[in-house]
Amino acid sequence: MDWTALTLSIRLGLLTVVLLLPIAFLVARWLAFGRFRGRGFVEALVALPLILPPTVLGYYLLVAFGRASPLGQAFEAVLGHPLVFSFEGLLLASLLVNLPFAVQPMQNALAAIPPNLRDAARCCGLSPLAAIRRVELPLALPGIATAAVLTFAHTLGEFGVVLMVGGSIPGETRTVAIAIYDRVQAFDEASAGVMALVLLTLSLVALGVTNTLARRMAHRH
Amino acid sequence: MRRRAAIPRLLHGGAATLALIAASVASGQPSPRVAHTPPAPLIAAAADLKFALDEIIVQFGRDTGESVRVTYGSSGNLARQIAQGAPYEMFLSADEQYVQWLAARHLTRGPGELYAIGRIALFAPHDSPLRPDPRLSHLARRLSDGTAGRLAIANPEHAPYGRAAEQALRSLGLWEAARPHLVLGENVAQAAQFAASGNSDGGLIAHSLALAPELRRRGSYALIPDSLHEPLRQRMVLLVGASPTAERFYEYLRAPAGRGILAGYGLTLPGE
């Protein structure tokens, strides 16, 4: 069992959830309530990581954030080290691949809020910010929780992108999914088996929690 | 109303658990970049060194109290990652051309030095119908009578041991016949895993891996004559920014302690 890899994965998962959820909430709100041209295109863009091969995303990240690119050079000037093959690079990749897992549950939850409730909030003189805090956030909570659980579980399991932009550096980019791959190559089936079981359990629990939340949300309406 | 109250409660419970995990992660595993003591240097090593270098690192730790972290891969991939800025301090390549390529880009500290001439071996698991022999005659027979199964090699495009395997098959006139049977590992350790797992007849892998206890337990091998492929000139080098610990590890590999372990895995220099 590679504890460094497991704690690294958990750290990556938690940071992804913390950083992604606020951004994704705003995107979800925009998609749920906004009426604008090109919404279908934005929705497709958000959902893209669901079907895009992770290696394709990894390839573009290498191209976009590699040493040769202006973006990569800018990051290197700020961070003091290149973005690829670093924890920060993994985090950025993780934010991108998890976009649909964070946006879609929240978008569904927000879209399910009866319009008259939001109208009532406006009529009662609630400012938009207060309406978000007192009406939308509480009603969308199951969606937000689902988004958090899915994002966390999916980050733990991400492999293709991490393989391409991570480089399997212990304590830095060797996540538990990569560690399983490494351990199998080292004929260490015992460690690989334990870590695989941990990921299997976490994924099952995550799906159990999301299904429970979804049922609760369905009950309420 | 009661159901509604249950959700925040559930969420608070979840949030508390997450906070607990976060706290344990934060305290138990500080990021290497913010730790007070400098993190152990990172070493990029060709996959044929997987078992030999693990053993050397343990011995290095016992002798000096210092530690290094290692990532194994195909030499070509590792060289590309180093060129793209991966934070390695030392590189052990299975093919010196990658070291020279990095040196030409001013990414190394000097030209480094040879640490071994690699050899390849035909490995077959115990229950395989394939019998390993140095000139691959049994493999040739199975290829010609159509009974051959899968043969694992490392990807010749970026793994030196894969290239050597391809050259040996070409030297024996078996390449075209063997091609449809090949499974390619990303690096030679993965090829060895394919070869030993029983999912293939066997594989052309590094002699150093065939000598590891993990593989010896699973099958037998035959050393391929080095006249059948270009020499695998394995070169190591310190990279720019190497720390004193990395320097000491480099010296340790040149010293009798390191050389002795390498020799135990068939990794020797001419005259040793």
- Domains contained in chain A, CATH given: 3-220 (1.10.3720.10)
Contact B50 A66 (CB under 8 A): no
| B8 domain residue, yes or no | no
| B74 domain residue, yes or no | yes
C-alpha to C-alpha distance for B121 and B154, rounded to whole angstroms: 12
Q: Please state, in angstroms and as integers, the Cα–Cα distance from residue B2 to each residue in A217, B5, B7, B9, B13, following that order.
A: 14, 5, 9, 11, 17
Closest C-alpha to A155, from A63, A25, A19: A19
Residue A202: which residues within 8 A CB-CB, separation 6 or more? A153, A156
Residue with tokens 């934070």: B87
Give B-chain residues touching A81 at CB under 8 angstroms.
Answer: 85, 87
Closest C-alpha to B74, from B190, B226, B237: B190
Bridge partners (DSSP) of residue B69 are B42
B77-107 pLDDT, tens digit each: 999 999 988 999 999 999 999 999 999 999 9
Looking at the fold, whether B113 and B236 belong to one and the same domain comes out as yes
Band of residue B29 on the pLDDT scale cut at 50, 70, 90: very low
DSSP run (H or E) holding A80: none
Give A-chain residues touching B38 at CB under 8 angstroms.
Answer: none
Domain that holds residue B97: 42-117+232-264
| B241 domain residue, yes or no | yes
Cβ-based interface (< 8 Å): residues of A facing B = 3-4, 7-8, 10-11, 14, 62, 66-67, 76, 81-82, 84-87, 138, 141-142, 145, 149, 167-172, 174, 182, 184-187, 209, 213, 216, 219-220
| B271 domain residue, yes or no | no
Pair type for strands B202-206 and B151-154: parallel
Contact A11 B190 (CB under 8 A): no
Looking at the fold, whether B143 and B59 belong to one and the same domain comes out as no
Contact A185 B189 (CB under 8 A): yes
| B25 domain residue, yes or no | no
pTM score:
0.83
User: What 3-state DSSP class applies to A27?
Assistant: helix
Looking at the fold, whether B130 and B104 belong to one and the same domain comes out as no
- Token readout for A157 is 């399991």
Looking at the fold, whether B223 and B240 belong to one and the same domain comes out as no
Contact B42 A168 (CB under 8 A): no
pLDDT of residue A76: 87
Looking at the fold, whether B76 and B177 belong to one and the same domain comes out as no
Give the number of C-alpha atoms closer than 13 A to the C-alpha of residue A120, restricted to the C-beta side: 8
pLDDT of residue B6: 44
| B18 domain residue, yes or no | no
C-beta separation of B193 from B123 below 8 A: no
Average pLDDT in chain B = 89
Looking at the fold, whether B74 and B142 belong to one and the same domain comes out as no
Q: Total structural domains in chain B?
A: 2
C-beta separation of B269 from B117 below 8 A: yes
C-alpha to C-alpha distance for A110 and A108, rounded to whole angstroms: 5
pLDDT of residue A68: 80
| B187 domain residue, yes or no | yes
| Torsion, CA A71, CA A74, CA A75, CA A79, rounded to 10 | 170
Looking at the fold, whether B125 and B220 belong to one and the same domain comes out as yes
pLDDT of residue B26: 47
Looking at the fold, whether B61 and B139 belong to one and the same domain comes out as no
Contact A7 B29 (CB under 8 A): yes
pLDDT of A126 over the 60 cut = yes
Give the domain CATH number at B71.
3.40.190.10
Q: How close A82 gets to chain B, by Cα (Å)?
A: 6
| Torsion, CA A117, CA A123, CA A126, CA A132, rounded to 10 | 30
Question: Which of the pair, A71 or B90, is modelled with greater confidence?
Answer: B90
pLDDT of A4 over the 60 cut = yes
What average pLDDT does range B183-203 have in this prediction? 92
Residue A78: which residues within 8 A CB-CB, separation 6 or more? none
- Token readout for A166 is 């991570």
Looking at the fold, whether B134 and B164 belong to one and the same domain comes out as yes
C-beta separation of A90 from A62 below 8 A: no
What average pLDDT does range A204-219 have in this prediction? 84
pLDDT of B14 over the 60 cut = no
Give A-chain residues touching B155 at CB under 8 angstroms.
Answer: none
Give A-chain residues touching B85 at CB under 8 angstroms.
Answer: 66-67, 76, 81-82, 84-85
| B53 domain residue, yes or no | yes
C-beta separation of B117 from B127 below 8 A: no
- Token readout for A21 is 């959820």
CA B167 from chain center: how many Å?
20
Give A-chain residues touching B189 at CB under 8 angstroms.
Answer: 185-186
Residue B85 has its nearest CB partner, among A81, A186, A213, at A81
pLDDT of residue B36: 58
Give B-chain residues touching A4 at CB under 8 angstroms.
Answer: 29
Looking at the fold, whether B211 and B255 belong to one and the same domain comes out as no
C-alpha to C-alpha distance for B37 and B34, rounded to whole angstroms: 9
Q: How close B83 gets to chain A, by Cα (Å)?
A: 9
Residue A49: which residues within 8 A CB-CB, separation 6 or more? A57, A96, A97, A98, A99, A100
Residue with tokens 């099958």: B219
